[in-house]
Amino acid sequence: MADSKYQQIKSHILQRIETGRWQEGDAVPSENQLAGEFGVSRMTARRALQELAEQGVLQRTQGAATCVAPLKSQSSMLQIRNIADEIRERERHHRAQVIELAEIQADNALAAHFALPVGSKLYSSLICHWQDDEPLQLEQRFVNPALAPDYLKQDFSALTPHEYLCTAAPLTEAEHRVEALLADPLAIQYLHLQAGMPCLRLHRTTWSRDGVVSHALLTHPGEKYQLGGHLTFVPSERINRR
């Protein structure tokens, strides 16, 4: 499946940043320049620049050139929390129980997630993350072997899949969807839940500049997990001054 034009523009910009051709603070081509180079509308070029700005890769200021954002800003905006770090920050002990590592064939749903033909090879892992003496997260993950060829060779009792993939295929994008559901057979078995108990499942798909890296289902006992975040809003008087 060919990338859309705006995705091609994003990949073009990310490739130049990752290779060091464009450094922190460097101006990137304007909407008009990108539109001409890629043969697209200015609106398409604007969408690509805006999405990279929202991810913290670029900085856009009205009336000024769009520039490569400081690296500190990029890493914080693109960061996905590692379950082992979260547990250690609570001064608790993390332990990973590796249940399964396997090579599988993509069914219709997985093939759609990875934009690959049905039956394509994927890697699969099933890992239960423990906090002290309690199971806290069941991680079922599917990985593109073309982007992480040594995935099945890793010792995931010593490092998490997240930590490995951040090195093997540095992440540029992520998509999350949260689902409330009742415990399924895997959650009952490995999270020590009773049938009918509530769970929260985070569906997470991650990309590098070369394509989809992984799709993960992260299941938590409902009573032991909560979603949260911190947003900073710009006061209206600051907006009016621009």
pLDDT digits (tens, 9 = 90+) for 147-204: 999 999 999 999 999 999 988 988 878 888 888 999 999 999 999 999 999 999 999 9
Q: Which two tokens stand for residue 83?
A: 């379950």
Residue 145 has pLDDT above 50, yes or no: yes
**How many angstroms separate the CA atoms of 206 and 174, rounded?**
4
pLDDT at 100: 97
- Averaged pLDDT, 200-218: 91
Instruction: Give me the chain's average pLDDT, please.
Output: 84
Q: Are 150 and 161 in contact (CB under 8 A)?
A: no
Same domain, 50 and 94: no
Same domain, 51 and 141: no
- Averaged pLDDT, 66-78: 59
Of the ranges 42-46, 59-63, 162-166, 214-218, the best mean pLDDT one: 214-218
Same domain, 54 and 116: no
Same domain, 64 and 49: yes
- Averaged pLDDT, 128-142: 95
Domain that holds residue 45: 5-78
Count of H-run helices and E-run strands, the chain: 9, 8
Same domain, 114 and 169: yes
User: If 0-12 CB within 10 Å is exposed, 13-18 middle and 19+ buried, where does residue 150 land?
Assistant: exposed
Tell me the percentage of the chain whose pLDDT exceeds 90: 52
Task: Using alpha carbons, list the distances in angstroms from residue 54 to 48, 51, 72, 80, 112.
Answer: 10, 5, 14, 15, 25
Ramachandran region, residue 25 (left: φ > 0; alpha: ψ -120 to 50; beta: rest): left
Reported as a pLDDT band with limits 50, 70 and 90, residue 227 is low
Q: Are 186 and 166 in contact (CB under 8 A)?
A: no
Q: Find residue 68's DSSP bridge partners.
A: 58
Higher pLDDT, residue 234 or 227 = 227
